[in-house]
Structure 1
Amino acid sequence: MQGLSEENNHFDSIIRLLELNEITKVIISTAFLRKSGLLLIKNHLIPHVDKIDFYVGIRNEITSAQALQELIDLGINPFIVDTGSSDIIFHPKIYLSISNCNKNARTIIGSANLTKRGITGNIEASIVADLNLDNNFEDINILSNINNSFENLKLKFPENVVQINSSEEIAVLLSQGRISDENLKTYISKQEDLENEPEENSRETIQSYIPKIKLKLPKITSNQNNKEASIATRLSKLNNSFELTGISNHEDIIPAGCILKWESTPLKERDLNIPQGRTTNITGSMTLRSGLSKISNFQSYFRNDLFADLHWAHSSRVSSSHLEVATAAFELIILGTNHGIFHLEIKHDPRKNTASYLQNNAMSHLRWGAAAPYIKSRELLGYTLKIYENSSGSPSPFVLVIS
């Protein structure tokens, strides 16, 4: 266990693993990769660059462009693993080297990512195993399972596991928001200090060609006879219990200078565009009503107050030419995770002589667009959506928070 003594650390264990004699193959798998961690073992990787299979997770807001570039500069072409969903993480931390000398191998399997703190600073735990490959079938089977697992990963999910070969490919990943930039502060830093705004529509094409990975997961059933209470009910109970002890169950992580402008009622299937049945119409949008904010003039609030400064124009579609349409940049934060900037469309029906208006129905809608894959989750049922206005306008004038 790293952190209890200076002698037990992953850095030394990885170095010993890479110093085996006559190494024929190396496998390194890490969820998160930073340049600082890579530089610590760089000189020990160089003798084996043509023998290394390197797997690294992306779409996790930690793996960086600089770290991937360092691998390319070393002559290592890594396999990036993009699960196609921010709620599924590629998470195995495995270091393995196979030696032709004495037919042996060494592996480290545990919790340490290839970051500076992961291999030197955090409290991390792993098992280091020396494998005897000379007629020891148990050890041979362990090695085979490790090898086959990664080969099957590439075979089953070719769109999710892709080898990177150039700086140009890294630049594309960065522009799409699938990897981070170590030159920028992390999201938990003060956002007003960020000067580099993400490129327009930088994330809007990610989900179109990276399918959500389909895992075979165990089915876990409850021993209780009664059905679980709804998510909203359980959240309510949690809120009440936490409030009794003075603890908040969730603190919204938002940029400084943001002002809450509206909060929805607990989100339902229609809000999240999750059909209850095959015949249910998916609108692609969320209706903007009074919400928990109890806005009395909600029929005009979104058009004439909250989003009044946007550039509004009539819809170009003949069938909906009566609608006014505008686009705004929103920073999307779901359950504390920042998914970046999305340019989303707001639609408003200005007519006051329609049955909908006279029946006091909502006249404004927020289209999910490229953000749809992030909000189409039953796990979000019962939470609320908040719209904040960012007074600084950086990195976007509005922030959407589901919490």
Structure 2
Amino acid sequence: MANVDFFLQGVHPTTTAYNEINNLFASTPSNIIFSTAYLRSNAVLAFHTQLSRFSSNTTFYVDVDNGVTSYQALAELYNLGVNLFTVDTGSLDIIYHPKVYLAQSSGSALIIVGSSNFTGAGLTRNFEGNVVLSLDLTNTDDQNLMNTFINSFNDLVTNHPHNVTQINNISDLDALFLSGKLEDEHTAPRMSTSTTSTSRTSTGPSSTIPRIRPSIPATRLTSSTIAAPSTGTAPSTGTAPSTGTATRTLVWRKENLAQSDAQYVPPGSSSNRTGNLRLAQAQFRVAGVLIDKNTYFRNDVFGALTWGWITSTKESATATFTLDLAGTLLGPYNLVISHNLNRIAGQANVPTILHWGEFGPLLQAHDYRHYNLELYQDSPTNFHIRIYR
């Protein structure tokens, strides 16, 4: 029989949506469904390890064209290899709003239903109310309730084929961004210029997405006629940021930097700094598949650079990098990447190396061991590195 609990995040002394969602992964679930109105990359990255482990069993349903859901968040999910659906209601006055986090295991299920969006604020900071259902799937009523959840999301996809889209390629996300339906976390939010209720925040053509039709017609409720006090002239809404291509793409992450990668030498040690960052696999996945460290960096990430042979087995190239060092933006600098064919053989060897160059002394000024590092690609020859805790 189902066990039902409730917590009010922001009031409960210990419980947050983040904690409860983390519990979903404890029982090795065979089926995971996450549904959210708003999605931001900080929430996705907070559960990167768990979602990566269960990516093939995980399905996300995410509302778009709402002024919050971002390109970066959806791109992170796509790179993890989860089953990803976006929901576009085609209307300003109807949004896809269910916040449901479900994990089904053998004989049991855990479901969280409430107000928490899959954003950093929704999971940890906002005042949110959520119900936690613990189901015993050997109980008929619990199994029927579980089936209701699953069938409802299946019906969402089946009944609204023009509004619910499965993301099968990163170009699908590019198209959503360019049509104004996704936010760029690195710029200010877009401002809606729509004067009707037929479109939402997007600046692209809204006619391609028909207005979604709920199964039960809406009841028109009467609004108040009370006038708000005058505030004078309304402020200008400003100019919306340019809808350029979302170019910053995460291409690698390395967690818990080792001493050599962080360029740290303990006081009194006779060790020498390597001056290098080893571009290892680091359990990084693209579209759910672990990268091949022997080819990924040389051919995919840095493949567009101009490479030249240093020796008969070692080649190098130069690219432009900026660095976000624990919140301080540095650069740009030209750094060298080298690729050594002799290091391809052998499981422990890493053939591709980033040479820290002018960044080296900046790293050496502080102990960055156990920090995390992310490598982003801004263009074929321009990159960005973020080092953070």
Question: In which range does the TM-score fall when normalised by the shorter chain?
Answer: 0.5 to 0.7
State how far apart, in whole Å, the 2-side matches of 1:5 and 1:251 are: 42
| Correspondence for 2:306 | none
Kindly provide the CA deviation profile for residues 341-399 of structure 1, in whole angstroms up to 9, marking residues without a partner as x. xxxxxxxxxxxxxxxxxxxxxxxxxxxxxxxxxxxxxxxxxxxxxxxxxxxxxxxxxxx
| Correspondence for 1:182 | 185
8 Å contact 1:19–1:44 — kept in the other structure? no
**Aligned-pair distance for 1:252?**
4.2
Out of 125, 131, 143, the residue aligned to residue 121 of structure 1 is 125
Kindly provide the CA deviation profile for residues 276-295 of structure 1, in whole angstroms up to 9, marking residues without a partner as x. xxxxxxxxxxxxxxxxxxxx
State how far apart, in whole Å, the 2-side matches of 1:6 and 1:251 are: 44
The alignment yields a C-alpha RMSD, in angstroms, of 2.3
Give yes or no for the alignment of 1:57 onto 2:56.
Answer: no
| Correspondence for 2:23 | 16
| Correspondence for 1:3 | 10
Output aligned runs, 1:197-212, within 5 Å. Answer: 203-207=203-207, 209-212=208-211
Output aligned runs, 1:111-260, within 5 Å. Answer: 111-134=115-138, 136-187=139-190, 203-207=203-207, 209-217=208-216, 220=219, 235=225, 238-239=226-227, 242-243=228-229, 252=234, 254-255=236-237
8 Å contact 1:106–1:130 — kept in the other structure? yes
State how far apart, in whole Å, the 1-side matches of 2:183 and 2:84 are: 16
**Aligned-pair distance for 1:205?**
2.4
Tell me the amino acid that sits aligned with residue 159 of structure 2: K
Tell me the amino acid that sits aligned with residue 236 of structure 2: I
**Aligned-pair distance for 1:56?**
0.4
Q: Which of the pair is proportionally richer in strand? A: 2
The 1:26/1:205 distance shift into structure 2, 3 A limit, reads: same
**Aligned-pair distance for 1:219?**
5.8
Tell me the amino acid that sits aligned with residue 112 of structure 1: S
State how far apart, in whole Å, the 2-side matches of 1:221 and 1:163 are: 32
Compute the TM-score of the two structures, normalised by the length of structure 1: 0.52
Unaligned runs of 5+ in 1: 189-201, 223-227, 258-403
What SS is found at the alignment partner of 1:206?
Answer: coil
Out of 50, 54, 59, the residue aligned to residue 48 of structure 1 is 54
Tell me the amino acid that sits aligned with residue 71 of structure 1: L
**Aligned-pair distance for 1:163?**
0.5
8 Å contact 1:98–1:105 — kept in the other structure? yes
Aligned-pair identity (%): 34
What SS is found at the alignment partner of 1:159?
Answer: coil
Tell me the amino acid that sits aligned with residue 116 of structure 2: A
Compute the TM-score of the two structures, normalised by the length of structure 2: 0.53
State how far apart, in whole Å, the 2-side matches of 1:251 and 1:69 are: 40
What SS is found at the alignment partner of 1:86?
Answer: coil
Q: Which of the pair is proportionally richer in helix? A: 1
The 1:251/1:113 distance shift into structure 2, 3 A limit, reads: farther
State how far apart, in whole Å, the 1-side matches of 2:174 and 2:165 are: 15
**Aligned-pair distance for 1:186?**
2.3
Out of 91, 94, 104, the residue aligned to residue 108 of structure 2 is 104
| Correspondence for 1:26 | 32
State how far apart, in whole Å, the 2-side matches of 1:220 and 1:62 are: 27
**Aligned-pair distance for 1:77?**
3.4
**Aligned-pair distance for 1:40?**
1.0
The 1:251/1:14 distance shift into structure 2, 3 A limit, reads: farther
The 1:253/1:111 distance shift into structure 2, 3 A limit, reads: farther
Kindly provide the CA deviation profile for residues 123-163 of structure 1, in whole angstroms up to 9, marking residues without a partner as x. 001101110001x1221121111011101111110110110
Q: Count the aligned residue pairs.
A: 222
8 Å contact 1:109–1:128 — kept in the other structure? yes
8 Å contact 2:136–2:142 — kept in the other structure? yes
State how far apart, in whole Å, the 2-side matches of 1:251 and 1:167 are: 43
**Aligned-pair distance for 1:251?**
8.3
Give yes or no for the alignment of 1:80 onto 2:62.
Answer: no
| Correspondence for 1:39 | 45
Unaligned runs of 5+ in 2: 1-7, 192-201, 240-389
